[in-house]
Amino acid sequence: MLKDSLAKTSSDELTEDSVCEDEDSLQKISRGDRGKVDALYGRGVSMLGAGKDDEAIKCFVQALSVDAVHTETMHKLAMLYLQKQMYGAAAVLFKQLGELTNDPVHYSHLGLVLYQQSDFEASKEAYQQAVKLDANRPQRFVSLAQVYRALGQINHAMMALNKALEVDKENTEFLFLLATLQAESGDFGEAKAVIEKILEFDPSNKEAEDFLKELKSKPTEGQG
């Protein structure tokens, strides 16, 4: 469930196609090789469009054998590996892409694939780099919060989540996760207050109603 939640909060980034072409790398290969790379890349994209993922992978791998830092090809191949749950291969490419382009999207994807491999410390570092480069996407802070949660660092998780809520104050999914974290830390009173806030926004939220009933049976005083 936790991994599903993290993937959901990162799903908006999976559709991004933000790739910064490395001009210096393009100049290091001959015109003929560049043409070969472009042709292989174009064929790979066509194979993707036709639903022939395995053929697309072959084309992209061949392109990278000619130009190992062709970022458009690296991005397409990394996304394919991610979709096919080939997380180790995807992590290698996203790490290289992040170092080449300094694009927060790649670091966010790297955080996701490392999380899927249960490499939580490395995932945390990748998401931290993503939010350092761009703090305007609340989903990245939510993903970072989930990683902290997996590491058992609940206070850090709540701090990251509050950063997300600074950007999107009335997001009921973020608020529900905050209440869950508060309950996990033993602060049932604050968790109850957050759930009540959710029900103000969304009175028919059955999940929030059920959680509120559960919280009402917990102590709300004498917290450490």
What H or E segment, with its residue span, contains residue 20?
none
Interval 142-198: pLDDT, tens:
999 999 999 999 999 999 999 999 999 989 999 999 999 999 999 999 999 999 999
Fold of 19-102: 1.25.40
What is the residue extent of each domain of the chain?
Answer: 19-102
Question: What is the rounded CA–CA span in Å between residue 178 and residue 187?
Answer: 11
Rg for the chain, CA atoms, rounded? 21
Q: In terms of pLDDT, which residue wins out, 145 or 9?
A: 145
Long-range residue pairs from 109-113, CB within 8 A, at least 24 positions apart, any chain: 109/10, 109/13, 109/14, 109/78, 109/79, 109/82, 111/10, 111/143, 111/144, 111/147, 112/6, 112/7, 112/10, 112/13, 112/82, 112/143, 113/82, 113/87
Helix axes 31-49, 71-83, angle to 10 degrees: 30
Contacts of 131 (CB under 8 A, 6+ apart): 104, 137, 140, 141, 144, 163
Interval 28-76: pLDDT, tens:
678 888 999 999 999 999 999 999 999 999 999 999 999 999 999 999 9
- Looking at every residue in the chain, the average pLDDT score rounds to 88
Q: Report how far apart, in Å, the C-alpha atoms of 67 and of each of 87, 161, 201 are.
A: 22, 40, 52
End-to-end CA distance of the chain: 29
Return the ∠ at Cα 69 (arms to 65 and 73), rounded to 5°.
75
